[in-house]
Amino acid sequence: MQIVYVIQHSLTKQLYIGQTSNLQQRLKSHNANQTKSTRRKDGEWILVYAEAYRTKQDAMNREKMLKHHGSSKRELFKRIANCFIETKSEAG
């Protein structure tokens, strides 16, 4: 099974979209600074959302759709808006 996931950095609030067959190991990899695109000095990456797919090709297609900033990404982010880490300005 393949997983498409969204993670968010605890300090910068930056979002990252990826796909993997082992979500637990992949999250550890992000937090151990083993992935160039998610390397940060402080803070940690937190899982915000995940979708499961039967085939790697389906997961790759979904990841590509989400990374291209189109309506798929907008719709997903609207649907999971309450899952994101609050920023200070939203904390009221």
Residue 35: what pLDDT? 82
Of 1 and 91, the structure prediction assigns the larger pLDDT to 1
Domain spans, the chain: 2-90
Give per-residue pLDDT as tens, 36-72.
Answer: 888 888 999 999 999 999 999 999 999 999 998 789 9
Q: Please state the three-class secondary structure of 28-87 as a single string.
A: HHHHCCCCHHHCCCCCCEEEEEEEEECCHHHHHHHHHHHHCCCHHHHHHHHHCHHHCCCC
Residue 80 near residue 6, CB atoms below 8 Å: yes
Domain 2-90 has CATH 2.60.40: no
Model confidence, pTM: 0.88
First to last CA, the chain: 40
* CA angle, residues 64, 75, 69, in degrees to nearest 5: 40
